Amino acid sequence: MDFNLSKEQELLRDGLGKFLSTRYDLEKSRAAAKTGPGWQPDIWSGFANELGILGAALPEDVGGIGGGPVEIMVIAEALGHALVVEPYVDTVVVAGGLLHRAGGPVATSLLEKVVEGNAVVALAAAEASSGENWQDVSTIAERDGDGWVLRGSKIVAMSAPLATHLLVTARTDDGISLFVVDLDGATTGIETHPYRTVDDRRAADIVFEGLALPGDALLGEEGQAWPSIATARDEGAVAVCSEAVGCMRKVLADTVEYAKQRHQFGQPIGSFQALQHRMVDMYMELEQAVAAVYLAVLKLDAEPNVRARAASAAKATIGRAARFIGQQAVQLHGGMGMTEELAIGHYFKRLTAVQFEFGSTDYHVTRYAKLTRS
């Protein structure tokens, strides 16, 4: 597959790569994730003000650059290579896409804040009773005069503990609707239970107990949010697939380098043919994953079934590759592979978590099968 970047996209990749190599320290990042606020706000500010990547794929009328899926792929892969925990995919890709498609003064104003680095937005869509089916929504929003009242609960809302705003799916009289919740103004009627995930990200389970919202908290038309949410889920899935590619490139490179340096029986373990074969298998899995991601990126603007089929194919392929490459890398590093001191253990955790974000590997295999039969 011929997939050449434009000069502007190459500059974006190179500039971000240089920033991360000089400014993003893995040890400092893990310390912030484990004992600090969960992220580094100064890095997020740098993304906005020094690099402009928070607006690279957002429209020019909100201060963005007007890029698209390829720019998101380039950025996400670079972030994955550096194992960045800051919520780019959740805020810019998923929430940014939902806000852009919803339109209106509230969405536009919030998008401008996202581009400036002054707002972090997270989507709360998953529910305990519906599992991976985001269309099965039990949370309800009822009219109350000119406003709304929100009741229900959400689980595993990624980046919610870092967010200034939430986008919440809820069922109204006309179907599934999307609401924006300003967390600074929400003092009663909401209960948040934050936690750290296995890969050092932040998530939360959220309970809405009669949360009062203004009338303009409704984004887009009432009951018509599902097509946009389905699109956002596929966009998020493809973005984390791109992130996983960056992770796997780093893991493979580190494993090859370790095999050159680690000696056993008086010679580098990389000279053993059996281990060479395993590293070649890792490389082949990576290349298949890259091809699947490229195809999914090119199909994100296609009609829904084509987009969904390509996204599921990429997510399923990435799930298999992430599992294989992560496990092989840990085994080839020996017991050191799972230590906190070695980067490979942190990448392995991220590659494990990626398999379940925006739908598990099994979910996407099943969805792909259904889509190819229709």
What is the per-residue pLDDT across 141-192, written as a single tens digit (0 to 9) for each?
999 999 999 999 999 999 999 999 999 999 999 999 999 999 987 779 999 9
For the chain, helix, strand, coil in percent to 5 are 55, 15, 25
pLDDT of residue 107: 97
Domain assignment of residue 308, yes or no? yes
Looking at 166, 191, 219, the residue that finishes a domain is 219
Structure tokens of 170? Answer: 């809820």
Domain assignment of residue 160, yes or no? yes
Section 228-249 average pLDDT: 98
Mean pLDDT of the chain: 94
- Beta-sheet strands, E only, within the chain: 121-124, 140-144, 147-158, 165-172, 175-182, 190-196, 202-213, 218-219, 263-264, 267-268
**243 and 344 assigned to the same domain:** yes
Residues in a beta bridge with 165: 121, 182
pLDDT band for position 340 (cuts 50, 70, 90): confident
Section 334-357 average pLDDT: 86
**107 and 131 assigned to the same domain:** no
Whole-number Å distance between alpha carbons of 273 and 270: 8
Section 272-277 average pLDDT: 84
Long-range contacts of 39-46 (CB under 8 A, 24+ apart): 39/85, 39/86, 39/87, 39/162, 39/202, 40/86, 43/84, 43/86, 44/86, 44/117, 44/120, 45/117, 46/19
Q: By C-alpha distance, which of 354, 237, 348 is closest to 282?
A: 348
Residues in a beta bridge with 203: 158, 195
**72 and 114 assigned to the same domain:** yes
Section 343-354 average pLDDT: 94
Residues in a beta bridge with 180: 167
How many domains does one find in the chain?
Answer: 3
Whole-number Å distance between alpha carbons of 99 and 61: 13
CATH number of the domain bearing residue 290: 1.20.140.10
CATH number of the domain bearing residue 200: 2.40.110.10
pLDDT band for position 250 (cuts 50, 70, 90): very high
Whole-number Å distance between alpha carbons of 91 and 193: 20
Looking at 219, 253, 275, the residue that finishes a domain is 219
Whole-number Å distance between alpha carbons of 169 and 180: 9
pLDDT of residue 374: 63
Residue 147 sits in which domain range?
123-219
Section 244-265 average pLDDT: 89
Domain assignment of residue 1, yes or no? no
**192 and 78 assigned to the same domain:** no
DSSP letter at 174? T
Structure tokens of 371? Answer: 């889509």
Residue 193's contacts (CB-CB under 8 Å, 6 or more residues apart) are 204, 205, 206, 207
Domain assignment of residue 2, yes or no? no
What is the per-residue pLDDT across 276-308, written as a single tens digit (0 to 9) for each?
899 999 999 999 999 999 999 999 999 999 999
Give the Cβ contact number of residue 318 at 10 Å: 32
pLDDT of residue 264: 78
Looking at 77, 94, 120, the residue that finishes a domain is 120
**193 and 253 assigned to the same domain:** no
Structure tokens of 188? Answer: 């009663």
What is the per-residue pLDDT across 21-51, written as a single tens digit (0 to 9) for each?
999 999 999 889 888 789 999 999 999 999 9
pLDDT of residue 1: 55
Domain assignment of residue 356, yes or no? yes
Strands 165-172 and 121-124: parallel
CATH number of the domain bearing residue 73: 1.10.540.10
Section 339-366 average pLDDT: 92
Section 313-325 average pLDDT: 97
**361 and 234 assigned to the same domain:** yes
